[in-house]
Amino acid sequence: MKLILLGAPGAGKGTQAKRISQHYDIPHISTGDIFRANIKAGTELGKKAQEYMERGALVPDALTVDMLLDRISQDDCTSGYILDGFPRTIPQAERLTEALAAMGEDIDAALDIEVPDEVIVERMAGRRVCPDCGSSYHVVNIPPKKEGICDVCGAQLITRRDDAPETVLSRLATYHDQTEPLIEYYQGRDKLITVDGTTGLDPVFEEIIEKLG
């Protein structure tokens, strides 16, 4: 099972990818998480990526595509994977299609989680994440059992730096400009599945599983 998750920043890609990954027993690969791990570790890649991420821009394809293709060539990806946040530009999608075609493979589906911009802004303002295990919460919609503490691993929750309101607006603009055209790209390749991302955690997951069949 090779899946792609499309959707605006804050649409719930990370939240649903975790569940899909457990359901199908495939790795969850988030380019955003890989960049954040590199920033935390102070690597050269992290330093370069941080500059773009903090202003809500995309990290250049030259830094992103080879990193992702290398990741999906690893042993744990032989029975599939779920890509969260990649591809994000038409050139990234074309490189992925070509790389898979060279091995006689293709993705099974691209899931687009649809959420209007107004809802996104409210979600990002309330998001809190775990810096250790990556779990994501929302102060109102999905609060942790104990305020400010991760249910899964007990770490202190933080606010992502790129969730500052002005950065969220740039990320949304970047999404509409550079990533939204992928919906048409995957529709043209007969891979697109659209899901309503506003219905709540469980209903969104159920709709995804039902539509994947």
190 class by beta-carbon count within 10 Å (0-12 exposed, 13-18 middle, 19+ buried): exposed
Q: Tell me whether residue 14 or residue 197 sits nearer to Mg ion (CB atom).
A: 14
Does position 7 interact with Mg ion (CB under 5 A)? The reply is: no
- Binding of ligand AP5 by 208 (CB under 6 A): no
Site for ligand AP5 in 150-179 (CB under 6 A): 162, 171
Site size toward Mg ion, by CB under 5 A: 1
- Give, as ranges, the residues between 31 and 90 that touch ligand AP5 (CB under 6 A): 31-32, 35, 52-53, 57-59, 64, 85-86, 88
Find the helix or strand (DSSP H, E) in which 112 lies: strand 109-114
Cα separation, 33 vs 30, whole angstroms: 5
Select which of 2, 18, 95, 127 is catalytic.
127
On whether the CB atoms of residues 182 and 87 are closer than 8 A, the answer is yes
Return d(Cα 111, Cα 4) in angstroms, integer: 6
Chain-centroid distance, C-alpha 136: 12
Nearest residue to ligand AP5, scored by beta-carbon proximity: 32
The full DSSP string for 162-192 is: GGSHHHHHHHHHHIIIIITHHHHHHHHTT-E
The answer to whether 73 and 96 are in contact (CB under 8 A) is no
- Cβ proximity to ligand AP5: between 70 and 104 the closer is 70
Backbone angles phi, psi at 119, to 5 degrees: -65, -40
Answer yes or no whether residue 95 interacts with ligand AP5 by CB under 6 A: no
Piece of the chain touching ligand AP5 by CB under 6 A; list 3-11, 99-107, 145-153, 184-192: 3-11
Residue 14 makes contact with Mg ion by CB under 5 A: yes
Among candidate residues 19, 48, 71, 160, the one labeled active-site is 160
Residues making contact with Mg ion (CB under 5 A): 14
Residues near ligand AP5, by CB under 6 A:
7, 9-15, 30-32, 35, 52-53, 57-59, 64, 85-86, 88, 92, 123, 126-127, 136-138, 141-142, 162, 171, 197, 200-201, 204
Catalytic positions are 13, 88, 127, 160, 171
